[in-house]
């Protein structure tokens, strides 16, 4: 009887743990979590960003909501979703880090699509912080403005990558410029650095994005909506 009780307990408790694994077992849901790590998003916004239909996006979000990984807020007829808390981002980041360490296909994929990334001379958050402390760098947040307002590195300028040409003349040519975006697999900062270098600036990208900066306990500044 005692052994039967232990077995039932183990079966049930591990089944509960597996619910989280099942929720994270979809590439589409992982991308949704990555986007919501930037800011709260509407279903329609997430659908546009991922190229999924609104109906399919809603189904994936419902799975995440059922397992309490995201929270939903209603505003009229529109629904907005955000990560339930910082632990959800840490879980997604742990999955990503484990995959990077175990799956050589990840590096192969990056090399295939971002073959020149090594030439962009990335800085770590610690290296960027040291330059900021010395006032020796200009930092550009090249994500969409709404994401910048939700949170950004203190002192960073909002220069969305698709508007960088409009800002070139206002950027100094005698100081190093560091661009950052959503995370290690976001290509906005790569695109920005290439254009900045073409214009004669000394530019680098940050290895991660705002979520990684925040997760390391570094200060984050927020703007009024």
Q: Cβ atoms within 10 A of the Cβ of 114, count? A: 13
> Is 181 annotated as catalytic?
yes
Q: Cβ atoms within 10 A of the Cβ of 72, count? A: 14
The token pair that represents 39 in the structure block = 């800011």
Q: Enumerate residues 6+ apart whose C-beta is below 8 A from 145.
A: 158, 160
8 Å CB contact between 63 and 25 = no
Cα Rg for the chain, rounded, in angstroms?
Answer: 20
The token pair that represents 132 in the structure block = 């900021």
Beta bridge partners of 81: 41, 72
Hey, is 181 helix, strand or coil?
Answer: strand
Among 122, 181, 186, 193, the active-site one is: 181
| Catalytic residue ranges | 181
């Amino acid at each position: 009887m005692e052994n039967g009780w232990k077995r039932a307990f183990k079966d049930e408790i591990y089944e509960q743990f597996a619910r989280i694994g099942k929720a994270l077992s979809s590439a589409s849901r992982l991308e949704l979590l990555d986007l919501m790590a930037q800011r709260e998003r509407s279903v329609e916004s997430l659908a546009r960003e991922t190229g999924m239909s609104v109906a399919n996006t809603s189904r994936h979000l419902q799975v995440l909501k059922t397992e309490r990984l995201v929270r939903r807020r209603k505003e009229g007829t529109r629904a907005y979703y955000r990560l339930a808390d910082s632990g959800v981002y840490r879980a997604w980041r742990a999955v990503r880090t484990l995959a990077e360490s175990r799956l050589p296909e990840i590096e192969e994929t990056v090399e295939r699509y971002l073959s020149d990334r090594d030439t962009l001379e990335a800085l770590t958050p610690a290296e960027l912080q040291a330059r900021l402390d010395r006032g020796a760098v200009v930092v550009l947040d090249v994500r969409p403005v709404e994401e910048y307002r939700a949170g950004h590195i203190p002192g960073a300028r909002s220069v969305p990558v698709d508007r960088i040409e409009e800002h070139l003349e206002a950027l100094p040519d005698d100081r190093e410029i560091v661009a950052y975006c959503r995370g290690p697999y976001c290509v906005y900062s790569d695109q920005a650095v290439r254009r900045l270098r073409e214009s004669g600036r000394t530019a680098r990208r940050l290895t991660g994005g705002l979520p990684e900066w925040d997760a390391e306990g570094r200060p984050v500044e927020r703007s009024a909506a």
